[in-house]
Copies of this chain bind each other. A is one copy, B any other.
Amino acid sequence: MSTVKLVEEAVANPRVRAVFDDIKATKKIERVPNIWRALATHPEHLELCWTRLKAIMRPGKIDMLTKEIIALAVSVTNGCEYCINSHTAAVQKLGLDNDGLGEVLAVVGLYNQMNRLADAYQIDPDILPKVV
């Protein structure tokens, strides 16, 4: 259960409501996800988070499915339950089926293992990335 009372859309103040409306319009969804309703207990922080997320989570050099896959990889590596559920739903909505999801998670699992082995043996980098 959340540690703060989630802000109801109906009783949100104008500053919060503006963000809530933008979230629903941008994401084409009917109701505001719980994470934003929790952040709304501190309206300035809500704005800072949403503005930045909106600026980053739009297609650029990297397409939206890849961005959501990155978000899922990060969330799985951090073990964040809310975020794993949210980004799994997002990649499914963008068309990734169970086969594709299995492949993504195979890579996530693989490198969580390889990361530990590289750390375990305290391996020095081979070749530094080409700094340009």
Main secondary structure of the interface of A (DSSP, over half): helix
Query: Which A33-48 residues have C-beta < 8 A from chain B?
Result: 33-35, 38-39, 41-42, 44-45, 48
Copies in the complex: 6
User: A35 touching B117 by the CB < 8 A rule?
Assistant: yes
Asked if A70 is an interface residue, CB under 8 A from chain B, the answer is yes
Asked, given contacts A112-B115, A117-B105, whether A35 binds B77 with beta carbons under 8 Å apart, the answer is no
Q: How far is the CA of A60 from the CA of B116 in the complex (A)?
A: 21
User: A106 touching B3 by the CB < 8 A rule?
Assistant: no
User: B56 touching A118 by the CB < 8 A rule?
Assistant: no
User: A74 touching B111 by the CB < 8 A rule?
Assistant: yes
Q: How far is the CA of A41 from the CA of B41 in the complex (A)?
A: 35
